[in-house]
Amino acid sequence: MVTLAGRAGRAGRAGRAGRAGRAGRAGRAGEDLFEDYGGSSADALLTTREGEMPVWNGEADPALKPKVETDLFVQLDKLAKIPREVVIDTRVFPLFEAVGENVESKLLQDAPHRLVELSPPPPEDDFWRKAELRHVRDAADLRNDRLNEIGFQIDDITTFFAAALRLDVERSEWTLEWLEAVVRLCGYIEFPLKFVHNIPRPGDYSSRVYAIEQTPLHGSWPSGHATEAFAIATVLTGMIFARTHATNEEFRARDEIADPNSVANLLFRIATRIADNRTIGGLHFPTDSYAGALCGIAIGEALVNHLREASQTTVFNYQPVEASSIDFSLSNLAAELSSAALADLDGSAPDPLLIAIWEQALDELPEGI
């Protein structure tokens, strides 16, 4: 199977904000049409124009009548990769925001619009030095089994979900475009949270952690891999839900993963494994994954419910303590989800362009899923 690293490649890691800084290159349409044969294509075009073009008085050609596209989705479809991403991001990013220690969403009806409230113990607490660090030690025994996965998932987690749903770069263009936007959105949220919480990595507490990849310099909490993996799993589960449920019906990930034989459950097990691999590799504590998973699920659910014009969505309040320190697993996460509350959405109409992308992605899902 061809990996999706070149297309999605954990798109959030490559700038995490839609790569907007590269938007100035958009005029190049993503690639050069001319091979370099040792000379300048610009020079070749210049001499051809001078040699063959008639004198031009500056007037438009009577036969040329440019068409101004009014359908937003058709217009978006014609854009090159980077400008397309930026257009999508400017519509998705404003819906969510990292505010202080928490995740907020303007989609919620009531102030302070808190989607996820995060309250970790202080970095000097025994929660980290004893309870959580023991989980990292126990997980290290699996490093030899998971080594290839851990290395591969540094830059690409999307491929693992694509394999489960038979997604393809040719047949699933807008599904993958949607997932990439979700990953970039997660990056926009997770890095400010990491900065504010500023929780050290496992290796900062003990040199014997001996991580099997270079430890990132940013904070550990919440886990970015977990945030992105569970956001992808949630959005894909929401797409499957949308094919069999009426518009306006509320989507809750916890209900869809209850059946261990369901596709949704498989997607969440994949997300769990991706997150767990970060602890096995010595990069994260289990609680980092719980915090990230709750952020990803909350963002994914709110986005799906907004697009489906549902009335409510799930909100979380995560406050781990030493006595509650447990290894990361889907069953433990499901227990956390079961106690989550619901909040009213504000009822605002979804952006028509986001609806068009969503519907196109739904049409691309393989039959029988």
Q: Which residues of 127-153 are buried (b: 16+ CB within 10 A; e: fewer)?
A: bbeebbbebbeebbeebeebeeebeeb
The answer on pLDDT for 12 being more than 50 is no
pLDDT band at 123 (very low <50, low <70, confident <90, very high): very high
The predicted structure's pLDDT at residue 54? 86
Contacts of 295 (CB under 8 A, 6+ apart): 103, 116, 118, 186, 189, 190, 193, 222, 226, 227, 230, 231
Tell me what pLDDT residue 43 has. 85
Q: Check residue 330 and give its pLDDT.
A: 95
Distances in Å between the Cα of 360 and the Cα atoms of 103, 159, 171, 244 are 28, 20, 11, 16
Condensed to tens digits (0 to 9), the pLDDT of residues 201-235 reads 999 999 999 999 889 899 999 999 999 999 999 99
Lowest mean pLDDT among 9-13, 314-318, 362-366: 9-13
As a whole number, mean pLDDT of residues 237-244 equals: 93
Are 268 and 291 in contact, with CB atoms under 8 Å apart? no
Q: Looking at per-residue confidence, does 25 or 269 come out higher?
A: 269
The predicted model gives 84-94 an average pLDDT of 96
What is the number of other CB atoms lying within 10 angstroms of the CB of residue 276?
A: 23
Q: Which residues of 191-208 are buried (b: 16+ CB within 10 A; e: fewer)?
A: bbbbeebebebbbebeee
- pLDDT at 18 > cutoff 80: no
Amino acid at 284: H
Residues 284-307 have pLDDT tens digits of: 999 999 999 999 999 999 999 999
Written as six digits, the tokens of 58 are 């500056």
Four-point Cα dihedral 225, 182, 230, 218, nearest 10? 20
In the chain, pLDDT over 90 holds for what percent of residues?
71
39: confidence class by pLDDT, cuts 50, 70, 90: low
Alpha-carbon torsion 153, 158, 159, 163, what sign? positive
Fold of 11-15+77-364: Vanadium-containing Chloroperoxidase; domain 1 (1.20.144)
Tell me the whole-structure pTM to 2 decimals. Answer: 0.88
CA neighbor of 305 nearest in space, from 267, 269, 255:
255
Q: How much is the pLDDT for 34?
A: 52
pLDDT at 11 over 80: no
What proportion of the chain, given as a percentage, has pLDDT over 70? Answer: 89
* pLDDT value at residue 116: 97
Q: How many CB atoms lie within 10 A of CB 315?
A: 21
CA 135 to chain centre: 26
d(CA 251, CA 313): 8
Question: Per-residue pLDDT tens for 164-185?
Answer: 999 988 899 999 999 999 999 9
Bridge partners, 99 (sequence order): 102
Question: Taking 60 as the threshold, does the pLDDT of residue 37 lie above it?
Answer: no
Q: What is the pLDDT of residue 325?
A: 84
pLDDT at 33 over 80: no
User: CB neighbours (10 Å) of residue 239?
Assistant: 22
pLDDT value at position 22?
37
Output the average pLDDT for the chain.
Answer: 88
Taking residues 88-101, report their average pLDDT.
96
Residue 365 φ then ψ, to 5°: -60, 135
Sequence-distant (6+) residues with CB within 8 A of 240 are: 256, 263, 264, 365, 369
Closest to 285 (Cα-Cα) out of 206, 173, 169: 206
pLDDT for res 44: 86
Q: With 90 as the cut, is the pLDDT of residue 89 above it?
A: yes
